[in-house]
Structure 1
Amino acid sequence: MSLGAFLLFGWDKFCASRSMRRVPEKVLLWVAVWGGSPGAILGQQVFRHKTRKEPFRSRLGWIIVGQLALAGAMAVWHLF
């Protein structure tokens, strides 16, 4: 999923620079939700794509915070 997110960010940047049909933000965010957040962050930085676009940037940030909170809760739950 991470590799897919990374490639989608690259493709969307390519399409944006050539006035081609873009990847919907909803798709980029759902790929991040389903495990592609590391690739989404990397793709965002490498391609310098959607780094200042709001509310996309905030939504991606909240997805990552939620995933980290879920992982932490699962780790703590697993200890007991």
Structure 2
Amino acid sequence: MIATSISLLFLTALGSSVFFGKLPNIVFIIYMVMSVIAFIAYGLDKSAAKRDRWRTPEKTLQLMGLLCGWPGAIAGQKFFRHKSKKTSFQIVFWISVIFNCSGLAVFYFKGI
């Protein structure tokens, strides 16, 4: 629940920042596109896990989160109940979220 709230709060703040001209539209578009891609990837990986088929490597899922897809990754983890309980995955995931948000903050406060 907390992760979902963080994701929704972030997207709301991001949308507001774009609306008020603090960030260019492309930033919001990138986050939304990458989030949809990450959400789909989590769904496909969960389906593959159930069918004992080729899986998406964890590092690929982590990279999607780092590259602006973490809000969708959170949604995918919750919706598909996938990778949400694996502690080692979650530690790396949240570190990547912190790195992503830190990078965005640099652009936000220094200007893109």
TM-score tier, shorter chain, comes to 0.7 to 0.9
The one of 38, 61, 77 equivalent to 1:28 is 61
Structure number with higher helix proportion: 2
**How many angstroms apart in 2 are the aligned matches of 1:59 and 1:33?**
10
Partner of 1:59: 92
Partner of 2:46: 13
Return the TM-score normalized by structure 2.
Answer: 0.64
Deviations along 1:23-50, one digit per CA (max 9) or x if unpaired, are 1101111111222111111101111100
Structure 2 residue identity aligned to 1:68: C
The answer for unaligned runs of 5 or more in structure 1 is none
Deviation >6 Å, runs of 4+:
none
The answer for unaligned runs of 5 or more in structure 2 is 1-33
**How many angstroms apart in 1 are the aligned matches of 2:57 and 2:78?**
18
Structure 1 residue identity aligned to 2:109: V
SS at match of 1:22: coil
Structure 2 residue identity aligned to 1:54: T
SS at match of 1:17: helix
Greater RCO, CA 8 A, separation 6+: 1
Return the TM-score normalized by structure 1.
Answer: 0.87
Partner of 1:3: 36
Structure 2 residue identity aligned to 1:37: W
